[in-house]
Amino acid sequence: MKKLLLTVVLAASLLRVDSLFAWGPKGHDVVAYIAEQHLTNRARKAIDKILDGQSIVYFSSWMDNIQNSPAWEGGYDKTKTWHYVNVDEGKTLDTMEREPKGDVLTATEASIAAIRSGNLSDSLMKDHLKMLVHMIGDMHCPMHAGRKTDLGGNQYKVRWFGEETNLHSVWDSKFIESYRKWSYTEWQQMLDRADKKERAAIAAGTPRDWTLETVDISKAVYAGTVEGANLSYQYLYDFGPLCEEQLLKAGYRLAALLNELFG
Ligand SMILES: [Zn+2]
């Protein structure tokens, strides 16, 4: 009986890992952990207080897990579209019809404004901080700024080392998991090597600038990915530097934003 239970638990946990979405927990953990290395003492203390001593890494994927919960003061079901923005071919962020319930850029700007307002309850402050940590990550994931016509690459079929999947899923998790077998702390150790001046240059700009940049990057990813192709080592080689760069940029930018809000 005990053995059977263990098998069931194991099978359930495997299933769960397989069905996760959005940069994947690994990508979000890497981004949050890089950011955490560059918080000022003041920001670190303020964030520590808001999160009851937990790390921002601890909450980096929280926003993916609450999408169907109606229990939030603000209604978590409202947050479903806040993970991405879509720009179709021949359109720009300005000419594209945006999600009426908000997208990753409008929701990020709203969370920043809410935190700045200074009149949030403790629990809403905590929620907006956790969302910001997640959304800055998603904002740098190429297929989170993909086309609406294929649902951000979800309907752009490809194979990944022979297995049928889609471009969104490749960029959320399959790429990063295949590229390196590093833990999130090892990813940080390997990537986070820019000096202060370089970090400041990367962190310059606004969430809107960063989103525009990801829109361009997603166009390059579409251009470099043949629909239906079997992607494998060559694809890792071609896009590895881009994957690393997006994680690093997201980490530095999140740190700068949190230092500005809480430092
Ligand atoms: Zn997400």
Which segments of 88-160 does DSSP mark as H helices, in order? 104-117, 122-139
Q: Give me ligand 1 centre to Cα 161, in Å.
A: 25
Q: Are 233 and 19 in contact (CB under 8 A)?
A: no
Q: Give me ligand 1 centre to Cα 4, in Å.
A: 34
1 pLDDT more than 50:
no
What are the residues whose beta carbon lies below 5 Å from ligand 1 (ion)?
22, 64, 83, 138
Amino acid type, 20:
L
DSSP code of residue 98: P
Q: Give me ligand 1 centre to Cα 180, in Å.
A: 21
Q: What is the CATH number of domain 21-262?
A: 1.10.575.10
Q: Give me ligand 1 centre to Cα 237, in Å.
A: 25
15 pLDDT more than 50:
no
| pLDDT-based confidence at residue 51 (cuts at 50, 70, 90) | very high
In tens, the pLDDT along 222-245 reads 999 999 999 999 999 999 999 999
132 pLDDT more than 50:
yes
Domain ranges of the chain: 21-262
Q: Give me ligand 1 centre to Cα 3, in Å.
A: 35
Q: Tell which wins on pLDDT, 11 or 132.
A: 132
Q: CB count, 10 Å around CB of 79?
A: 22
Q: Give me ligand 1 centre to Cα 221, in Å.
A: 19
